[in-house]
Amino acid sequence: MIKFRNYFIIFASVFAITAACAMQDVKAQDSMSDLIKRIEALESRPAAGGNVTAGKIRGLKIGLNLRHRMEIRSQDFNRTSFGSSTQSGANGVRTKSQFGTTGGTSAHATRKPTQDFTLQRMRLSFDMDINKNVMARVMFQDVRTFGDQGITGNGERTDVQEGYVQLRNLGDINSLLSNVQLRIGRWQQGYGNHRVIGTLGWANQSRSYDGAKIMYKKGNFNVDVFAWQIAENTTGGVSGSDSTFSQATGLDTVLYGFYSQYKFGGALKGNVIEPYLVVKAESSDEDVTGVTQTVESETRYTWGLRAAGKGLFGGGFDYTVEPNLQTGSSRYTPLNLSTRTNAKENINAWALHAEAGYTFKNLPWTPRIGYAYSFASGDDNYNEGTQKTYKQVSPTQHAHNGYMDVTSWQNIIDHQIHLNFKPTKKLVVDVKAHFFELDKEADDWYHVGGTLVNGSGADRFIDNNGTNQDVDEELGQEIDVTLKYKMFENFGVVAGYSHFFAGDFIEDTSGGQDRGVDWFYLQTTVKF
Q: What is the DSSP string of 72-90?
A: EES-------BTB-----G
Q: How high is the pLDDT of residue 514?
A: 62
Q: How high is the pLDDT of residue 480?
A: 97
In angstroms, the CA 183 to CA 170 distance is 12
The residues, ordered by sequence, that sit 6+ positions from 301 with a Cβ below 8 Å of its Cβ are 277, 278, 279, 326, 327, 328, 347
Q: How high is the pLDDT of residue 83?
A: 34
Q: How high is the pLDDT of residue 52?
A: 31
pLDDT tens column, 221-258 = 999 999 999 876 544 433 333 333 333 345 578 999 99
Structural domain boundaries in the chain:
56-527
Write the CA distances from 10 to 7, 75, 159, 395, 517, integer angstroms.
10, 27, 26, 33, 28
Write the CA distances from 463 to 77, 80, 507, integer angstroms.
18, 15, 11
SS3 category, 99: helix
In angstroms, the CA 213 to CA 225 distance is 5
Q: How high is the pLDDT of residue 71?
A: 94
In angstroms, the CA 305 to CA 321 distance is 8
Regions of the chain short of the pLDDT cut 70? 1-58, 75-113, 148-156, 232-251, 284-296, 313-314, 332-342, 454-471, 509-515
In angstroms, the CA 326 to CA 345 distance is 13
Q: How high is the pLDDT of residue 510?
A: 63
Q: Where are the beta strands (DSSP E) in 232-367?
A: 252-263, 272-283, 294-312, 317-333, 343-359
Q: How high is the pLDDT of residue 56?
A: 42
In angstroms, the CA 84 to CA 90 distance is 19
The residues, ordered by sequence, that sit 6+ positions from 232 with a Cβ below 8 Å of its Cβ are 210, 238, 239
Residue 50 phi, psi dihedral angles, 5° rounding? 70, -155
pTM for this model (two decimals) = 0.77
> CATH class for domain 56-527?
mainly beta
